[in-house]
């Protein structure tokens, strides 16, 4: 059974078709990136998968059950950390909303802090953190929801190049250790290849899956992977698909 199954998905707004028959599956433990032109409907797709929007046609299932709010954990583009809450209390917010007692939620959050590089910052405010640390805190909050599937919507898009690379390598490490099932939106082709088992390419609106590429590169991957001839070939293929027909 697929962790995520999307079949014949269609969605329109005001008579304008955004998604026009999207079909794909994601296996348990797989990391899949979604790339495509700006405005092609990537965030709309995530909204439907997360159960926050209703498609006009088609279906989405999570582990064989219809998509609904709370079935997956969604990390939006902005970290959305509350400035008046400590890092620890920001991370526990999702658990508290689910009804987990505060003490137990804090214990669970603290257990993640070493792997997420947040130890010693439990009582800091978000404004005291670097951009990369804020993103790690936002991801910890997402992971703590305990869902089988994580949706990451451009998680590193606002970071500078050096911090972004550090975060990509860090995410690879913690994800490979825990084998999360991940769907990620990104505009960075190299990021998609470095992190993913498979990359889906959306067409311009109205969006369809026009292409997909498996990434057979061995793990763990490193900066050296970026110059691997197989990596360069995949990058060339994906960039060509993105620009074809423009």
Q: Can you tell me the distance from the alpha carbon of 236 to that of 163, in angstroms, rounded to the nearest whole number?
A: 24
Same domain, 158 and 209: yes
Same domain, 218 and 188: yes
Q: At 9, list the tokens.
A: 């998905």
Confidence at residue 246, expressed as pLDDT on a 0 to 100 scale: 54
Mark which of 146, 172, 189 sits at the end of a domain: 146
Same domain, 163 and 60: yes
Mark which of 98, 131, 146 sits at the end of a domain: 146
Q: Can you tell me the distance from the alpha carbon of 11 to that of 22, in angstroms, rounded to the nearest whole number?
A: 10
Same domain, 31 and 121: no
Same domain, 135 and 153: no
Q: Is the peptide bond before 220 cis (omega within 30 degrees of 0)?
A: yes
Q: Which domain holds residue 63?
A: 1-72+148-246
Same domain, 214 and 95: no
Q: How many domains does the chain have?
A: 2
**Rg of the Cα trace of the chain?**
18
Confidence at residue 13, expressed as pLDDT on a 0 to 100 scale: 93
Same domain, 161 and 244: yes
Phi, psi of 16 (to 5 degrees): -100, 120
Question: Nearest Cα to 155, choosing from 41, 76, 43?
Answer: 76
CATH code assigned at 210: 3.40.50.300
Same domain, 131 and 157: no
In order, the DSSP letters of 47-100 are HHHTTSS--SEEEEEETTEE--TTSSEEE-SS----TTS-HHHHHTHHHHHTT-
Mark which of 127, 146, 165 sits at the end of a domain: 146
Q: Can you tell me the distance from the alpha carbon of 211 to that of 222, in angstroms, rounded to the nearest whole number?
A: 26
Same domain, 171 and 212: yes
Q: Which helix (H) or strand (E) holds 182?
A: strand 181-185
pLDDT digit of tens for each residue in the chain (246 aa)? 799 999 999 999 988 999 999 999 999 999 999 999 988 899 999 999 999 999 999 999 999 999 999 999 999 888 899 999 999 999 999 888 888 999 999 999 999 999 999 999 999 999 999 999 999 999 999 999 889 999 999 999 888 899 999 999 999 999 888 889 999 999 999 999 999 999 999 999 999 999 999 999 999 999 999 999 999 999 999 999 888 745
Same domain, 164 and 66: yes
To the question of pTM greater than 0.85 for the whole model, the response is: yes
CB-neighbour burial class of residue 82 (10 A; exposed 0-12, middle 13-18, buried 19+)? exposed
Same domain, 47 and 91: no
CB-neighbour burial class of residue 63 (10 A; exposed 0-12, middle 13-18, buried 19+)? middle
Confidence at residue 177, expressed as pLDDT on a 0 to 100 scale: 85
Same domain, 47 and 93: no
């Amino acid at each position: 059974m697929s962790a995520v199954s999307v079949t014949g998905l269609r969605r329109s707004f005001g008579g304008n078709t955004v998604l026009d028959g999207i079909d794909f599956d994601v296996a348990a433990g797989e990391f899949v990136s979604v790339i495509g032109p700006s405005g092609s409907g990537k965030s709309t797709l995530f909204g439907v998968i997360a159960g926050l929007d209703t498609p006009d046609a088609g279906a989405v299932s999570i582990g064989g059950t219809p998509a609904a709010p709370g079935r997956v954990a969604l990390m939006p583009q902005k970290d959305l950390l509350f400035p008046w809450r400590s890092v620890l209390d920001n991370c526990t917010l999702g658990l508290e909303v689910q009804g987990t007692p505060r003490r137990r939620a804090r214990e669970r959050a603290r257990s993640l802090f070493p792997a997420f590089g947040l130890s010693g910052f439990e009582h800091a405010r978000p404004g005291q953190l670097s951009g990369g640390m804020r993103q790690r805190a936002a991801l910890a909050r997402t992971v703590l929801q305990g869902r089988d599937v994580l949706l990451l919507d451009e998680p590193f898009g606002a970071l500078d190049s050096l911090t972004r690379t550090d975060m990509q390598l860090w995410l690879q490490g913690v994800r490979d250790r825990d084998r999360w099932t991940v769907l990620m939106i990104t505009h960075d082709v190299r990021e998609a290849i470095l992190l993913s088992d498979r990359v889906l390419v959306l067409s311009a609106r109205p969006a369809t899956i026009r292409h997909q590429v498996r990434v057979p590169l061995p793990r763990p991957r490193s900066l050296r992977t970026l110059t691997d001839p197989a990596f360069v070939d995949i990058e060339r293929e994906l960039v060509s698909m993105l620009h074809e027909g423009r």
